[in-house]
Amino acid sequence: MGNGRPDDLDELGSGPLSRGAAVVLWFFVVCGLTVLTGGLPLVLVPFLSDDAGNLWIVALLALPMGPALAAAMFAWRRYSAEPDLRPATHFWRGYRLNALDVLRWWTPLVLALAVIGFSLAHLGAAGVPSGYGIVLVVIAVALMLWAVIALALSSRLSLRTRDVARLSAYYLAAKPLVTLGALSLLVLGAGIVFVISDWALVMASGLIAFAVVTTTEPVVRDATARFTAPPTDAADRTEPV
C-alpha cells in the first residue's frame, strides 16, 4: 500500500476553501457518528429519577461511549496523517477494529466508577470518616486519567487487555505532561457538565476525542516505537512485536 498522499491532496484540493470545507465535513461526520454510536443511549438519562440506584443504569447506558470514542480517535488520527474526504469510512473501520478490545477494559472501568459514585452518594449513611470521600474522588480521577491513556493506546495499537492496563498505568507516571494534559481535559469536561449540561459534553465528544489524540500523541508515538513493529499505515492499528 502506498502512502496515498498525492491522491489525498488531489481529493481535498489545494485551495483554502476546499480545505476548510473538508474540515467542516470531518467535524460534522465524526462528531455526529460519535454521538450516534456512543451518546444516543444517554438520551434516557434525563428521564431517570434522581436516585443513586440509577447509577447502574447510567453505567449500562455509558458502555457504548468507549468504542465510539476509540473509533473517533482512530478517524481523527487518520485525518492528521493523511486527510481525505472519507471520515465515515475511517470511523467505521476504527469502530470495527476497536470495539471489542475497548469494551474489555471499558466495561469494568465504568462499573468501578459506578461503584464509587454509589459509595459517595451513601457516605452519610455508611458512617465512614469524611476523608474517605476524598479518597474515592482521587481514585475516580485516577481511573479517568488512566482511561484517557488506555483509549489512546487501544485506538492505535492491537494490545492484550492486561498490556493496555499495564502500559496506561506506566505512561501516567512516565509522561507527566501528557497526564497533566489529560487532567485539563477532565476539568474541561466537568466544567461543561456543570456550566451547561451533560448533554453538551456528549455533543462535544467527537471534538474531545480529537483533543485526546493531540494530547496523548507522545504516549502513542513512544509505545509504537518501543513495543510494535514499524507500521505500514500511519493511522491504522499495529500489532505488538
Q: Does residue 55 lie within any of the structural domains?
A: yes
Q: Does residue 241 lie within any of the structural domains?
A: no
How far apart CA 26 and CA 89 sit, in angstroms, is: 11
Q: Does residue 37 lie within any of the structural domains?
A: yes
Q: Does residue 233 lie within any of the structural domains?
A: no
Q: What is the pTM of this model?
A: 0.86
- pLDDT at residue 49, rounded to an integer: 75
- pLDDT at residue 216, rounded to an integer: 96
- pLDDT at residue 191, rounded to an integer: 94
The residue-averaged pLDDT of 144-155 equals 96
Q: Does residue 97 lie within any of the structural domains?
A: yes
Share of the chain above pLDDT 90, in %: 61
Look at residue 156 and give its three-state secondary structure.
Answer: helix
3 or 176, which is more confident: 176
Specify the DSSP element, H or E, that contains 72: helix 65-81
* Domain residue limits at 153: 5-227
Q: Does residue 58 lie within any of the structural domains?
A: yes
81, three cell numbers? 496523517
165, three cell numbers? 492496563
How far apart CA 73 and CA 83 sit, in angstroms, is: 14
- Within the chain, what is the greatest distance between any pair of CA atoms? 66
How far apart CA 174 and CA 157 sit, in angstroms, is: 18
> Quick one: which of 171, 180, 173, 181 has its CA closest to 149?
171
Residue 211 has pLDDT above 90, yes or no: yes
How far apart CA 240 and CA 231 sit, in angstroms, is: 10
Q: Which residue has the cell 498522499?
A: 5
Q: Does residue 218 lie within any of the structural domains?
A: yes
Q: Does residue 235 lie within any of the structural domains?
A: no
- pLDDT at residue 136, rounded to an integer: 92
How far apart CA 150 and CA 159 sit, in angstroms, is: 10
> How many domains, the chain?
1
